[in-house]
A = this chain, B = another copy of it.
Amino acid sequence: MQESKTFESICNLLRNHSYKVTHQRQTILQTFMEHVDRHLSAEEVYMLVKHRDPEIGLATVYRTLDILAEIGVLLKNDFGDGRSRYEFSRKDEQHHHHHLICLHCGNVSEFDDDLLESLEAVISKRTQFKVIDHDLKFYGYCKKCEEAL
Identical chains bound together, number:
2
Known interface pairs A111-B123, A119-B113, A119-B115. Does A128 touch B143 (Cβ–Cβ under 8 Å)? Answer: yes
User: In the bound complex, what is the Cα–Cα distance between A45 and B134 (angstroms)?
Assistant: 28
> In the complex, what residues of B have CB within 8 A of residue A122's CB?
113
A interface residues, how many (CB within 8 angstroms): 32
Please name 25 pairs of A and B residues whose Cβ atoms are closer than 8 Å in the assembled complex, sorted by A: A78-B80, A100-B127, A100-B129, A111-B123, A111-B127, A113-B119, A113-B122, A120-B138, A123-B138, A128-B146, A129-B141, A129-B143, A130-B140, A130-B141, A131-B138, A131-B140, A132-B140, A133-B139, A133-B140, A134-B136, A134-B139, A135-B135, A135-B138, A135-B139, A136-B136
Taking Cβ atoms with an 8 Å cutoff, the residues of A that contact B are: 78, 80, 100, 102-103, 109, 111, 113, 115, 119-120, 122-123, 126-143, 146
